[in-house]
Structure 1
């Protein structure tokens, strides 16, 4: 009997109808009776203390139920949010209304609860706050020389060989600084929570979270509750890109507001509040030093990152990780330095470290290739490492060569000319650029429950785990996995996720969501078949169906749970996704405006569970990478510390007219070392390397090397 084939099929979203009809519930969509509304108010200085808060006018305003500040907020367990606590299991960025200290502009300093949202918003504007200001560290350039070695073990200096000697003695070398600005996540749905106290010590939070059990741990730890007394409900997440991977103070503030008024409370951040409420991608100053022999063999790779963090805690992007593993070199040094500043704590942002780090590394590789008069693809191929240079481990699989060679064929790279400014069409200078990039492929502990019900010959399955769906297709790939392994059509498989009462699972972060979720389902489905086989007490000439197994065992219902963990064998290997990016740019010589009519993204991301969803992931990453290259930048007003860019009117993300044709290609990878299903994840790698390819294409078009993003027309004229 031929088994059903679902994994790897281009299947439409099983939750698509519920989304387009409005039936899918996001954080603020849940119908909760007797709901009150909360609006946060924020600090208007970047450093100092609150001298006084006059909330009398707000308290007397129509419909107001409570005004909560540090003067009357309950005491919380701040030990749960220590600087060394897991980012997905603690409340990040402070601002929990515990004292009068101000560490950044826009810090949450109070909340108004009222009968309606409009009443709460109006009352919040009536609160009068006076401050005692302190000198604030706001301008990165003024404090960059104060940077120190980070405390995190993973950010200590890491090298091999003698970089300085190799670099100084080299004839062919590049030393340059590449800068990326502060960026913001801007998911479609801003952060929001509905808090409902079911009992004095039992809480339900309707939230949008990338890590369901992480939110549960963060809220429970901060509020001093047992984790099992906090339920997180998050069936759908309206985007996150890392901002909803960590949890921020608005989550707990909603809970204490509901506790204060003894009724459910909804707290939703506005788009402008998002800029200084839920983290950001920090600004990075990256010094690259590359050296090579005349025949194009690298002799030195140095990658030094200087960045900023908050005054209260430390967070860094690992920008130098690509420099450790992408290319073979006997001499390497990766360093990090950080300066605490009065800016909200940075956090994970799509492709953390590798999207920004690859811009610097791949730009420097392009510069050195041009100096050597080598084709930049050939230069990369000559420095392909046989093993992971950072630790000597063998690759579980590595597809850089396939990505570059296949991409060159699809893109038509042979039409590229070495010399810049040699191809034009009317007022446009035309250039081609390439880059490669990597992102770790990881699997995390996850559990799954599979439940079967049978009515005569009709068997249906329900798959349950505390996974999350960012909008990337988690429901669908789980249904495909279970459907194929149980030999059931998709319409007979129900998926329940987004609830902390379900078996615990990893989060949709770090590109380990899909791999972790589906491998847990894979384990549960395999275990279920084995258990039914044992209960049937029969020998089968051919693999039996679920109907046969359940009939033989005289069962109308059955369920099992499996707990999947990463294989210890996988630790012996280095596992990563890889890609190659190819950009064609047209630069208007008169205006400096850049168009990207064509982009080819080639990805080696292990087993592709759903080509339709995978293609969307890559396209989304490329579009953001183009935004990183050309338009996105959050600008701080240096006198006060607030962001000048506070809406989509001035924070420019790419729109349809900015994007040309994007072609996605997946190279075949079978990697059973990384996990039993061979899944690596695509969410992070999709953006990595994109900005570098665009910057390299702009150099090929114009002869101008722009090393600080975004590449705006003023920098090209």
Structure 2
């Protein structure tokens, strides 16, 4: 791997991701970091994952052709199941509904009908169909949740994550409201500035936000539930287990009138102090969260908790993308006719956002396969492709108007909400589906490199020498 003058590590991830794609009986993976006189750089998303998926998937297609097995079936045969394993240590996955995602994708795309179009020619255009299965790590654990019920009766969810336009800042807060059986219009999200006293959180990378912060906020919601029940028992008599929480009230089981609303609970917490008001801080939370609680002390009923839920294995999400393309054999240009993607990402938190994340990642992967690359001056290492017109990502006119999407929507049993991350897994799926579809249009011939630019495709179709050596890159 060449990442400039300071080494590279993506190749280690690539070897691990390869075992999450399929379950080889035997595997040897070797990689080397090559130092070059070029600027340091790294992958935008799915480092190591997108690259290895684009390498593996055309080989799986080749195996299917030589063994005379359907390309979808060979993936289902070799994909991991719930007893699957990951990496050299062969540790377990928390869940793996991969075959279900492949079945759903085949149905959504119409694989049985579309594969009959393979190699059909209309004038200068040849149809190709392909698919890509892409896994990537999808969650971390051990972060903190922080909630405040203020005297206005609303629940304030303090989030250390930011808003990248993916709705995760709101989606991951909902488990706290669900635990308290509270209407969403009674929830306020506090974020974006550490002076607002925010808890210890993930960085928004590695596709970990959804998994990490649904867990953390679920833990905080559970802690808040316990405080409300304890507060009610102290003030109104009985034991904490006598009380229920719903609709912004804590009340005796079977008698909603015997209780108090959240506004009254907040006022009483402030008056009592101690662990109810944040003047006593749990030892189990991180120092960053302890400081946040101290900054909020006395403003209401405060609950902070660390995610101590078990994991039970490696958290991975899989995306399967199916593509139909038309290759113009006179120009080398490729038009994408149809796209469909499915995912195993656990419980669906936000259907529209999930579709946007999945399709956006698929489009980004197609850009990597179609034209994005680094080109450097061979002597001085100065980059040539540093503008959109020299390394253009796909635009809305480069993809079908209505790409289709569906999710298996089976919860991961090792996390309380059941949700896993989605950011990076689609990238490799889009890249691989494009590469495999182009190879299919060329009669199964794989150029075995990306990007598949028009001049490279034409050189192969016309029998001219390839304009690069086997190990040459950035040319």
TM-score calculated relative to the size of structure 1: 0.53
The one of 193, 204, 213 aligned to 1:517: 213
The one of 611, 616, 620 aligned to 2:356: 616
Q: How many angstroms apart in 2 are the aligned matches of 1:349 and 1:554?
A: 47
The one of 124, 132, 137 aligned to 1:435: 132
CA contact (8 A) 2:323 2:336 kept: yes
**Superposed CA offset, 1:619-657 (max 9, x none):** 110110111111211211222211112211222111121
CA contact (8 A) 2:128 2:438 kept: yes
For 1:632, the equivalent position in structure 2 comes to 372
Q: How many angstroms apart in 1 are the aligned matches of 2:260 and 2:365?
A: 54
Alignment of 1:534-573 (within 5 A): 534-537=230-233, 538=237, 540=242, 543-548=245-250, 551=260, 555-556=266-267, 558-565=300-307, 567=309, 569-570=310-311, 572-573=312-313
Alignment of 1:131-530 (within 5 A): 307-312=1-6, 314-317=8-11, 318-385=13-80, 386-388=83-85, 390=87, 391-417=89-115, 421=119, 423-455=120-152, 459-501=153-195, 502-530=198-226
Q: How many angstroms apart in 2 are the aligned matches of 1:367 and 1:620?
A: 28
**Superposed CA offset, 1:650-676 (max 9, x none):** 221111211113111101222121x22
Q: How many angstroms apart in 2 are the aligned matches of 1:515 and 1:686?
A: 17
Q: How many angstroms apart in 2 are the aligned matches of 1:559 and 1:638?
A: 63
Q: How many angstroms apart in 2 are the aligned matches of 1:636 and 1:488?
A: 56
**Secondary structure at the counterpart of residue 436 of structure 2:** helix
- Over 3 Å counting, the alpha-carbon distance change for 1:437 and 1:597 in structure 2 is same
CA contact (8 A) 1:316 1:346 kept: no
**Superposed CA offset, 1:223-267 (max 9, x none):** xxxxxxxxxxxxxxxxxxxxxxxxxxxxxxxxxxxxxxxxxxxxx
- Over 3 Å counting, the alpha-carbon distance change for 1:356 and 1:619 in structure 2 is same
How many residues are paired up? 404
Q: CA RMSD in A?
A: 2.3
Alignment of 1:675-690 (within 5 A): 675-690=415-430
- Over 3 Å counting, the alpha-carbon distance change for 1:486 and 1:337 in structure 2 is same
Q: How many angstroms apart in 1 are the aligned matches of 2:4 and 2:136?
A: 26
- Over 3 Å counting, the alpha-carbon distance change for 1:585 and 1:336 in structure 2 is same
2:363 is equivalent to residue 669 of structure 1: no
Q: How many angstroms apart in 2 are the aligned matches of 1:418 and 1:435?
A: 18
For 2:342, the equivalent position in structure 1 comes to 602
**Superposed CA offset, 1:424-465 (max 9, x none):** 23331111101212112322332222111234xxx2121113
**Secondary structure at the counterpart of residue 341 of structure 1:** coil
Larger helix fraction of residues: 2
For 1:223, the equivalent position in structure 2 comes to none
CA contact (8 A) 1:314 1:345 kept: no
**Secondary structure at the counterpart of residue 519 of structure 1:** helix
For 1:651, the equivalent position in structure 2 comes to 391
CA drift of 1:530 comes to: 0.8
CA contact (8 A) 1:466 1:503 kept: yes
**Secondary structure at the counterpart of residue 47 of structure 2:** coil
Q: How many angstroms apart in 2 are the aligned matches of 1:465 and 1:647?
A: 35
CA contact (8 A) 2:219 2:307 kept: no
Q: How many angstroms apart in 1 are the aligned matches of 2:151 and 2:179?
A: 17
CA contact (8 A) 2:175 2:217 kept: yes
CA drift of 1:697 comes to: 1.0
**Secondary structure at the counterpart of residue 339 of structure 1:** coil
Unmatched 5+ residue regions in structure 2? 252-258, 268-298, 459-475
For 1:709, the equivalent position in structure 2 comes to 450
- Over 3 Å counting, the alpha-carbon distance change for 1:511 and 1:411 in structure 2 is same
CA drift of 1:478 comes to: 3.5
CA contact (8 A) 1:418 1:700 kept: no
Larger strand fraction of residues: 1
**Superposed CA offset, 1:519-549 (max 9, x none):** 2111111111110110111565754543346
